[in-house]
Structure 1
């Protein structure tokens, strides 16, 4: 059986000159890749502002991310670019500060465990279906906008116990789209040693977008923070309530207001942006694969019949899980993860100097020609054979690995299974003739021109 290969930026035949890489990366870092990037075990690039080592070999990836994680802390490059939005959150910090925050957040994140969070997910998914019901049947719809809305609504309800609707929703979407588009323009000049190319206007626009998002969060956090400090905790049972109760083990100190906003901003943005990216691509892949889509619809109807989904139903949706698993392989939301070598160390036949950036790129590892069979093809059934199971063990890390593995991975997988199963249960997805999404790598893997699909309502069984 043949499987289609979704579009992605075709790699150059050979590595481009640094100046050309710089201008390509301003649009998308995917445009800088060349054919050998998808076959090499380890590569190196020396730029005016940075020594960069790309690691694809599974053993080296495990060494950097897990076995010697303390020797490879998170690179400050991306953290500096995100700090106006995420502050000193667990996404941007290292060392003792990161460990303290993670220890405080792990028990607080218990509120997002699946049994508690699933009813919230279902409420937001039903709200999505109500919005889609207002769209004329069979018309074009930008599914990226809808996936961003529903995932933001889910994490918003989980953190604050209130839905994200109307003007607030569009304000957040617009602000983050601007922030994400500007990030490469602010990050790349320091990497290429041309900081003078950073326009003050772009810096101002980026900080303004960050302030808009943080301002919305602060409006919701401040009243509850003040009430809690005054001994008047609210009745809400949500993540914010858990964060307000969190204490550092050694001192008993809680999160301060700014630090609390930092952690909530990180959780809100990470909790919806990555899921929205993956779900958008999953919907597109299903639209391009009508046979798989119909099998998935039959699976959902068989498991659920006419009733509402329950948390325990999700594990029965094997094909649905595999569709999303394959989507995460082809379009990992976080396409690269940057670490910094704390000291000079040997790696394969190279010597990585202290301070150099070591990049682990799920985008490359998930499509590596030596690690996957038919690596560019969309094939959810591949996970039923032994070869792909071995590839999953060695070369699959959409949520990272090691101490900094994503704490919301189980949450994201459950959320995706519910949203995709609900979408396919009620709608038949098809592509818009002539519209081809253009994947771009910025903070996450998105489409430069949106993802427009036709949604046709299915008749009741």
Structure 2
């Protein structure tokens, strides 16, 4: 029988206006009700504004594909601007198109191959840290997954190691930022002034931006002095990139915004997915053994290479299933640029349209046993069909996550390395509490137990 991990049980009926405010203050998932997981389209009225929730797989791909008729809603920009500024994650139109053109070369397959060794070194350092706690004690893995993914981002984007003090500063600041940004969004939806929450989120964001700005400023100075040739990292690719249409490059403020975006998208979302993956694996020892055997056959005792990834089918499916159950970004907000009828509802111009990977991935009419952890579903015809129409952990269309291949490469490397070295056991006294904010995390952490495998 497959493992059914925890998730907030939906309410039986739609919450009232006041209850939605109170429940959504800490986590937007807590607002959902039973029909949210089976309906194709719903709506709620919020002080003169209607918000539409769309789960219809006949409409979702087209809306995500048409960035001009359905751009990102201004709410996302207002919520994330303190940290991300005018970055590719929140901008629209010609600004976004230019940013995307400048970013793509830095995430080419060739660039990913270059940074693989840096990922591997970060992973080796992570294993050294985990060795000190791999004695069967209950261990909080959330902070370590945040550390290793942030370290990977530092090395692959900035060619710099991440110190333990910087890692803790970033972890604390990101956690605070998520809470403040979530509450600011709720206040904005209710047409209430988000001043205090926005000010607090700016304070948290400033701490993160200060760490990154210092490094980027130094790199820009080295470039101006003709000393930038030694770096083969992603920042180097972004600094060297020129717009094929206009010939211009990223300015220093733009580089800071884009690197902050990559930090959120590249370490926070990956840390969320990896933390949940370890929790899921801890409850499925049979999957760990299957992964371990695949590793022995494909890699043996050798160093993990990029070419080994294709041979690790089970861990690839584990990561895909983790992203289905706990997609790091749980909702995407688009804005209808013109009035129209979607299904049987009149959608006015300017209305927010919410497309939720969290709901689509658990939709009762699309997936078999939607709340169960079953990585093998992606090898079945039913699972493949569901994935084709309702699997969007990295979004879809022109705004698909630019770092999807990076995140997958990183996750397979980290998870495979952990399973090869340790048995992962559950802490049965601890049940994670799922919360939805900027990303989907556990509000009370995720605890597992690690034990070193015996040498073969």
The TM-score range, normalised by the shorter chain, is over 0.9
Deviation per residue, 1:71-96 (Å, 9 max, x gap): 00001102111111110000110000
What's the counterpart of residue 60 of structure 1? Answer: 59
What's the counterpart of residue 233 of structure 1? Answer: 228
The Cα of 1:136 is off from its aligned counterpart by 5.3
Q: Is the 8 A contact 1:49 1:192 kept in 2?
A: no
What's the counterpart of residue 161 of structure 2? Answer: 163
Aligned partner (choices 99, 102, 118) of residue 100 of structure 2: 102
What's the counterpart of residue 189 of structure 2? Answer: 191
Aligned ranges for residues 1-400 of structure 1 at < 5 Å? 2-48=1-47, 50-66=49-65, 68-110=66-108, 113-135=111-133, 137-195=135-193, 198=194, 200=196, 202-400=197-395
Q: Structure 1 CA distance, aligned partners of 2:82 and 2:220?
A: 21
Q: Is the 8 A contact 2:54 2:355 kept in 1?
A: yes
Deviation per residue, 1:39-79 (Å, 9 max, x gap): 0011111111632111111111011101x331000011021
Q: Is the 8 A contact 1:111 1:239 kept in 2?
A: no
Q: Is the 8 A contact 1:138 1:455 kept in 2?
A: yes
Q: Structure 1 CA distance, aligned partners of 2:342 and 2:81?
A: 31
Q: Is the 8 A contact 2:83 2:206 kept in 1?
A: yes
Deviation per residue, 1:377-431 (Å, 9 max, x gap): 0011112211111111111010000000001111111111111111111111111
The Cα of 1:11 is off from its aligned counterpart by 0.3
Q: Is the 8 A contact 2:70 2:334 kept in 1?
A: yes
Q: Which stretch shows the higher mean deviation, 16-25 or 42-51?
A: 42-51
Deviation per residue, 1:352-379 (Å, 9 max, x gap): 1000000110000000001000110001
The Cα of 1:324 is off from its aligned counterpart by 0.7
Q: 1:49 to 1:316 in 2, by over 3 A?
A: farther
Deviation per residue, 1:179-235 (Å, 9 max, x gap): 01111111111101222xx352x3332111111100001110112112323444341
Q: Is the 8 A contact 1:224 1:234 kept in 2?
A: no
TM-score, normalised relative to structure 1: 0.96
Number of residue pairs matched by the alignment? 456
Q: Is the 8 A contact 2:114 2:232 kept in 1?
A: no
Q: Structure 2 CA distance, aligned partners of 1:437 and 1:406?
A: 27
Q: Structure 1 CA distance, aligned partners of 2:259 and 2:102?
A: 13
Q: Is the 8 A contact 2:105 2:238 kept in 1?
A: no
Q: Is the 8 A contact 1:340 1:358 kept in 2?
A: yes
The Cα of 1:116 is off from its aligned counterpart by 1.4
Q: Structure 1 CA distance, aligned partners of 2:251 and 2:237?
A: 14
What's the counterpart of residue 434 of structure 2? Answer: 439
What's the counterpart of residue 460 of structure 1? Answer: 455
Q: 1:49 to 1:446 in 2, by over 3 A?
A: farther
SS of corresponding position for 1:258: helix
Q: Which stretch shows the higher mean deviation, 108-117 or 235-244?
A: 108-117
Q: Which stretch shows the higher mean deviation, 382-391 or 440-449?
A: 382-391
Unaligned runs of 5+ residues in structure 2 are: none
